Amino acid sequence: MQATITYDEVTPESAENGDVSEAGFFHPGGWRLGIDDPDAPLPVGEVLRWAAERGCWRDNGDGSFYCESYDEDYRTGACTSYAVHFKASAASLVRISRVLGATS
């Protein structure tokens, strides 16, 4: 089973263009990784703990869970949203959904 965390950052300027200013993989330690970084997959337990703390419970049915909260930089106006993604069997995804208290 594989797990990753992704982020999208939207600034006032990128929002005017209907786009994100930056996107990629995120590590719970606080650092950002490029979209092609081979170090992006993380231990499932670490991602589950982080997702539960952040409130990542909105399930889209394909192994991705979107976080309810986001980070906002009041100085720049940038907002960063997060999602966690699991590549797992259907049975494992059902268990992950239960752990996170997911809803669709």
Name the phi and psi angles at 96, rounded to 5.
-60, -40
How do residues 55-84 score in pLDDT, each as one tens digit?
Answer: 888 888 899 999 988 999 999 999 999 999
Q: Residues 88-93: what's their mean pLDDT?
A: 91
The pLDDT, as a whole number, for residue 69 is: 87
Name the phi and psi angles at 73, rounded to 5.
-95, 105
Residue 35 has pLDDT above 90, yes or no: no
Look at the pTM and tell me if it is higher than 0.75.
yes
Domain boundaries, the chain: 2-100
The pLDDT, as a whole number, for residue 102 is: 81
Long-range contacts of 27-36, Cβ-Cβ distance < 8 Å, separation of 24 or more: 32/7
The residue type of 69 is: S
Distances (CA, A) of 47 to 10, 18, 38, 65, 78: 23, 29, 16, 11, 24
